[in-house]
């Protein structure tokens, strides 16, 4: 009877890989799936408005599923995994030891639609791992932008132009180093706009990291 119960409990509680459903590693991601991720070296992807921007992985396969399901399918349990990948990447960079984590915001309209900003959740998890503070209200998204991936490069630039402003009510020293985090950087235009606004507001030490990028070869 006890053996039977043990078996039953194992069936219920054994963690299976979210991506391939295998239970052999009893982890949310198995080794095989982890090995399929194309992690990128800790080198600058683009320098935008005199700030370094980076990307952690290529946006394909496992990472694509992670981001999409976390963002659109309410799979918040995937956030620690995203935070962990960013954490591993950040440790390879020579960042200022006092940085504050700034997740890229979504608009009020989109927040109403989705009920949460997935990057806020990743930022909270990353905050726990790094022991660095998160300030999710420093940047405000004032424009309800169209979904970037549906647009061509020029349209993306127009779409995101002046989409952000800095919240002057947030009490953060201007010399605080900022670490902006986002899920995907494609043309770099989102990072560029945010960095521009932050620099106009007087912040000068800014680094930006995306969990993924689809186009490192461009
Ligand atoms: Zn797997």
Q: What is the pLDDT along the chain (218 residues), one digit of tens a residue?
A: 667 777 766 666 788 999 999 999 999 999 999 999 999 999 999 999 999 999 999 999 999 999 999 999 999 999 999 999 999 999 999 888 899 999 999 988 889 988 999 999 999 999 999 999 999 999 999 887 666 667 777 787 788 888 999 999 998 999 999 999 999 998 899 999 999 999 999 999 999 999 999 965 54
CATH topology of domain 37-213: Rossmann fold (3.40.50)
Q: Between the CA atoms of 137, 143, 146 and 149, what dihedral angle is there, to the nearest 10 degrees?
A: -50
Question: From the CA of 25, how far away is ligand 1's center (Å)?
Answer: 8
Give the start-to-end residue ranges of the domains of the chain: 1-36, 37-213
Coil, strand, or helix at residue 77? Answer: helix
Question: From the CA of 23, how far away is ligand 1's center (Å)?
Answer: 8
Task: Report yes or no: 183 and 67 within 8 Å, Cβ to Cβ.
Answer: yes
What DSSP assignment string belongs to 98-162? T-EEEEPP--HHHHHHHSS-HHHHHHHHHHHHHT--B-TTSEEE-S-PPPGGGS-HHHHHHHHTT
Question: From the CA of 141, how far away is ligand 1's center (Å)?
Answer: 36
Instruction: Please give the helix or strand (H or E) that residue 96 lies within, else none.
Output: none
Nearest Cα to Cα of residue 52 among 105, 118, 106, 96: 96
Question: From the CA of 131, how far away is ligand 1's center (Å)?
Answer: 29
């Amino acid at each position: 009877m006890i053996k039977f119960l043990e078996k039953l409990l194992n069936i219920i509680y054994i963690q299976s890989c979210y991506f391939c459903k295998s239970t052999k590693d009893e982890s949310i991601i198995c080794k095989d799936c982890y090995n399929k991720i194309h992690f990128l070296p800790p080198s600058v992807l683009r320098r935008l408005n005199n700030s370094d921007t980076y990307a952690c992985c290529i946006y394909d396969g496992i990472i694509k599923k992670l981001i999409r399901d976390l963002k659109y399918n309410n799979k918040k349990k995937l956030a620690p995994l995203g935070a962990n990948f960013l954490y591993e990447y950040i440790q390879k960079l020579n960042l200022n030891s006092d940085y504050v984590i700034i997740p890229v915001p979504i608009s009020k309209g989109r927040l109403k639609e989705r009920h949460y900003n997935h990057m806020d959740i990743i930022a909270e998890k990353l905050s726990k791992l790094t022991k660095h503070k998160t300030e999710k209200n420093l940047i405000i998204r004032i424009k309800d932008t169209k979904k970037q991936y549906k647009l061509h490069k020029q349209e993306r630039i127009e779409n995101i132009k002046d989409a952000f402003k800095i919240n002057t009510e947030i009490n953060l020293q201007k010399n605080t180093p900022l670490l902006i985090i986002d899920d995907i950087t494609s043309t770099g235009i989102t990072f560029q706009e945010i960095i521009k606004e932050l620099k106009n507001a007087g912040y000068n030490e800014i680094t930006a990291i995306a969990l993924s990028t689809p186009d490192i070869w461009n």
